[in-house]
Amino acid sequence: MDYYIAIASIIGIHALLGLSVYLVAISGQMSFGQQGFFAIGAYLAGMGTALWGLPLLPSLLLGALLAGIMGFLVGFPALRVRGFYLAIATYGFGEIVRLVFLNIRNTREIGGRVVGPNGAEGFRHVRYVFDHGLTGLQYLGIIVAVLTAVSALFYWLDRSKLGARLRAVEEDEVAAAMVGINVTRVKVLAFTAAGAVAGLSGGLFIHYSSYIDHDMVALPLAIASITYPILGGLGSFAGPILGAALLVSLTEGLRALHELRMFVYGGLIIVTMIVRPRGIIDDALALRIRRWVSARARPREIRTP
């Protein structure tokens, strides 16, 4: 049972990270650096509970806030670059964050343990969840609650004017600007919000694992985070969640295969991209689901003028 709770927790945390990449992607930008915001959120939220004695929720929000501010700051320079350049520039940002955490030390001794970011050692002993006697299932409940709240925002976004503006910028920037959309504002907003979501994901992660180090926010996490939305589909916010659920449970479920599971992981990405280049829940499927859901929600009526 604990095993399944652990897998579900990781899926929830990674789904949030996937949603963060998705949010940037639907504004037509490609970020390969959301793991940097994840790291910022994790370190700050961890410092919140472990060093400053704050409760969990304010610490998570603090991490998300700082990650959002960093997203805002990265969003502006990112306006000047597009496509591959942006992907690589943001990867550069992610690596800088990682290398800064490799060098940062801010430790204090608490209860005989060295707590705090400690360079290459990482940030150990974030024991809030254990100290407060939360079980794995209860913590999973917190993760699910956060994921549900964020998903609700995305559900609203997919149906709102703002969401339409994001998609318009993705489709064609010039045309979007022509109809009066402030492209700069939309893009920076997407980066800011995506940074905050990734920070939230990081904060949840460090309290789940009680530990993070710079190696955990390196290239593999970057690859995973962009794989979720691209494989799951960019048509709806359900795409990245589906992608995270599929890939995490696949890598965990194939643990019996040991080393071979990563072959399957890599192979699955290749095959999916050949068969469904816009992911499993692509725009067409998302539209069909949306129509099907709304047809169920209210019976069709024939309107007469």
Nearer to other proteins, 25 or 146 (CB): 25
User: Does the protein bind other proteins through residue 287 (CB under 8 A)?
Assistant: no
Binds other proteins (CB under 8 A): choice among 4, 52, 84, 156? 84
Q: Taking CB under 8 A as the criterion, which residues in 51-80 touch other proteins?
A: 77, 80
User: Does the protein bind other proteins through residue 265 (CB under 8 A)?
Assistant: yes
Number of residues that bind other proteins (CB under 8 A): 41
Nearer to other proteins, 95 or 213 (CB): 95
292 to 156, 288, 296: CA distances (angstroms)? 18, 6, 6
Considering only 16-24, 58-66, 96-104, 293-301, which stretch makes contact with other proteins by CB under 8 A? 96-104
Give min distance, CB of 292 to other proteins, in A: 25
Q: 32, exposed or middle or buried, with CB in 10 Å at 0-12, 13-18, 19+? A: buried
Q: In angstroms, what is the C-alpha Rg of the chain?
A: 20
CB-based contacts of 159, cutoff 8 Å, min separation 6: none
Give min distance, CB of 96 to other proteins, in A: 5
Residue 32: name the closest of 279, 229, 211 by CA.
Answer: 229
Q: Taking the alpha carbons of 42, 45, 51, 53 in that order, is the dihedral positive or negative?
A: negative
d(CA 17, CA 197): 7
Binds other proteins (CB under 8 A): choice among 159, 266, 287, 294? 266
d(CA 47, CA 68): 17
Q: Which residues bind to other proteins, rule: CB under 8 A?
A: 30, 77, 80-89, 91-93, 95-96, 99-100, 102-103, 219, 223, 226-227, 230-231, 259-260, 262-263, 265-270, 273-274, 277-278
